[in-house]
Amino acid sequence: MTETPALRPWSAPPGLVRLWPWLLLVAVGTGCGGEPEDKVASASVGCTDDAGCVAQFPDIGVCQVARCEAGVCQAMDKANAGVCAAATCGNVGFVAVSRCQAGLCAAPSPTSCDDNNVCTDDTCDAVSGCAHGPATASCDDGDACTTGDLCEAGGCKAGPAKDCDDNNVCTTDSCDSATGACAVTSLSGPAAPACDDANACTVDDRCGAVSAGVCGGTAMACDDGDGCTTDSCAPASGCVFTAKTGPCDDGDACTNGDTCSTKGCIGVAIDAKVVCDDSEHCTTDSCDTKTGCSHAPSTGNACDDGSNLTVGDLCAAGVCVPGETAGPQLCKSTADCASANSSDVCKGTHFCDLSVATCKINPTTVPLPCDTSKDGVCRKTACDGGTGKCTSVWTADGAACDADGSLCSTLDACKSGLCAAGAALGCDDNNPCTTDSCDAKKGCVVVANSASCDDGDACTTKDVCAGTSCSGGPTLVCDDGKPCTADSCDTKTGCTANPQSGSCDDGDACTTGDACSGGACAPGKAKICDDGQVCTVDSCDAKTGTCGVLAGSAAGAQDGKSCEDGDACTAATVCKAGSCQGGGAKVCSDGKTCTTDSCDAKAGCVFAAIEGCNDCSGKPICTGETAPAWQLSDVNPTSSRFGKPLGVAAFKGKPLVLISVHGY
């Protein structure tokens, strides 16, 4: 249905040419008086329909319409809300259809088509308005614990979950959805799970056994009881028994020269009769493998109590018991005592004591006691029965002996009558987690320490000895602070950083849809900052993402560009220093005497009719000639309807309408 404009009646201004008291002539066309206020105008042309009035208002606005009312052409405002301009798309967004308001075409405020959704492609269509189609781009689903988020169906679809697994069975790993930071909780205590610390030198491995969050166990004892091996433990394989050479102790006190060989620690048996001979007649000399030389008391063995006055001396429980008394040997001279002398000159010779006629030992013939202060296991000093002199007898060189009574020396042996200490016992087990020493009574002593060490795993730190093994310390934290790398640890080389895909933040708040590329965060598309003003240089704050405009000298980048300042009364407006400035006032002149020319900031030029003005001399709309007699035709003086056409007249060929006035 065609919308009928709201028409407002037009009142005839006083002073118009009258033919007679009850007739009023109105000229066809714009009229001498111009347009009245509110853009409503009448033309003094008779009409029978609207079509005949259109040509009378060539400058009529889009929100006005020419109508034939009561036989007179009138320009009327269209009804409010009527469509006057189609929708458009511009750099400020979508502008919906414009509608008439009080005779003016009012454009609505523009609507930005940017929905601030990186997952939509925002477009503008003059018919349908803003459209938001699905985009294919990286995005951020708001969960910092997902990576590689991608747009799907206009929304942001979460990518794979961020890998927070530190590959440590002794920690519970999680991710903070707000910050994306991985959280690690260390496990320890009786309820902690069993684990494998990958160290073959520990047993009963359990999380937290050494320190919270670390798998560790009790050190395994590696001792094969073989003095010819160096006992140690390798974390990769376990106990290691490495053969060694050199002196050793075969545990047999009756051997000497003990040396490590492929068959173990082998010594040379000693000659117990020689080495263990204590030169005592009433002992049985032998060698015990555990205690060495022994001298057991003997009984029944013949012995010599050292007296020439007894015969048949016998050993009893290790003591030489004198035999029967031979009785004194009578003599008359010393020669008679020769038979009493022993072959052992160390016992002295007899003389005849004439006072008692008995043979006695001459004390002056008995050698002084021998000095045995330097005697030892390798040297014996005694009187030589053949010569009567003190003689030292050395044990054969190389015979085993004990030089210092310490187990910390090996291969002690006789040399030139003295017992010489052998090489020091080697107690180093090549294990950094033991402190090795030697005790004179016990031999090698191995004590576990708590020194720092290296467990061979590059992913543990502050390794320390536990028991006799090296136990890994806290797990090495591998984080290079880059969101586009997946950090991990290699047990041989340490931390590694591998490039990963997914969304990220390049630190510039003026980019959206940033994504990882080659281990670095690549900027996404720039944020759209458009204030809809052609004279401003739009900018974006990289820190806050706030849109603004450049100031100072940078604001002049648009200088000289044509613009619209919103004031219809300025002409040649151009951009200057960031704002739209007028080049001068717009000239409004319709060249008519009977109008007041002015300018409205919104509507532009306004030509208001001057009430009562009828001076049409020299105006294009009038003839400009001296008015001759009026020529009337089709006059109906009998009509008495107020304000209705009574007839038509002609002036110089111009048609006139006759209207009744004041009911005459």
Q: What is the mean pLDDT of each run of 10 residues along the chain (664 residues)?
A: 37 33 33 38 73 80 84 83 76 74 78 86 82 87 88 90 86 88 87 88 87 85 84 85 82 83 83 79 88 87 76 84 76 88 83 90 86 86 86 85 84 87 85 89 86 89 86 87 86 88 86 87 87 83 87 74 80 81 79 84 81 57 38 38 39 41 34
DSSP state string for 55-106: GG-TT--TTEEEEEETTEEEEEEPPTT-EEE--EEETTEEE--EEEETTEEE
What tokens were used for 40?
């409503």
- Closest-CA residue to 55 (of 28, 76, 32, 88): 28
Mark whether 360 and 334 lie in a shared domain.
Answer: yes
The answer to whether position 572 is within a domain reads yes
302 and 341 together in one domain: no
- Residue 551 domain flag: no
Instruction: Look at residue 151 in the predicted model and tell me its pLDDT.
Output: 92
Asked if 282 and 336 sit in the same domain, the reply is no
Q: So what's the pLDDT on residue 513? A: 84
Among 511, 533, 526, smallest CA distance to 92 is for 533
Residues 580 and 612 in one domain: no
Can you tell me whether residue 335 is helix, strand or coil?
helix
Q: Which residue has the tokens 């010779």?
A: 349
In a domain, 36, yes or no: yes
> What is the model's pTM?
0.38
What pLDDT, on the 0 to 100 scale, is given for residue 351?
A: 92
Residues 25, 68 within the same domain: yes
If you write DSSP's letter for every residue of 626-647 in order, what string do you get? Answer: -----EEEEE-TT---TTSEEE
Q: Which 3 state secondary structure label does DSSP give 38? A: helix
Q: Is residue 233 situated within a structural domain?
A: no
Number of domains observed in the structure of the chain:
4
Using DSSP's 3-state secondary structure scheme, residue 399 falls into: coil
Q: CA–CA separation, 379 vs 387, rounded Å?
A: 19
Q: Are 206 and 197 in contact (CB under 8 A)?
A: no
Integer Cα distance of 404 and 415 in angstroms: 14
Q: List helix spans (H) across 222-283.
A: 272-275
Position 58 in a domain: yes
Please report where in the chains the tokens 């004031």 appear, as a residue: 567
Residues in the chain: 664
**74/28 same-domain check:** yes
Is the domain of 70 the same as that of 28?
Answer: yes
d(CA 567, CA 569): 5
Q: Are 175 and 184 in contact (CB under 8 A)?
A: no
Q: Degrees (nearest 5) of the Cα angle 392, 396, 397? A: 110
Q: Residues 138-159, buried b or exposed e (16+ Cβ, 10 A)?
A: bbbbebbbbbbbbbeeeebebb
Is residue 110 situated within a structural domain? no
Is the CB of residue 129 less than 8 Å from the CB of residue 140? no
**Which residues are CB-neighbours of 139 under 8 A, at least 6 positions away?**
118, 119, 149, 150, 151, 156, 503, 513
In a domain, 511, yes or no: no
403 three-class SS:
coil
469: in domain: no
- Answer yes or no: do 40 and 75 share one domain: yes
From residue 45, how far is each of 9, 317, 582, 614, 657 by CA, in Å? 15, 176, 41, 17, 6
Question: Are the C-beta atoms of 229 and 218 separated by less than 8 Å?
Answer: no
For 347, the domain range is 328-366
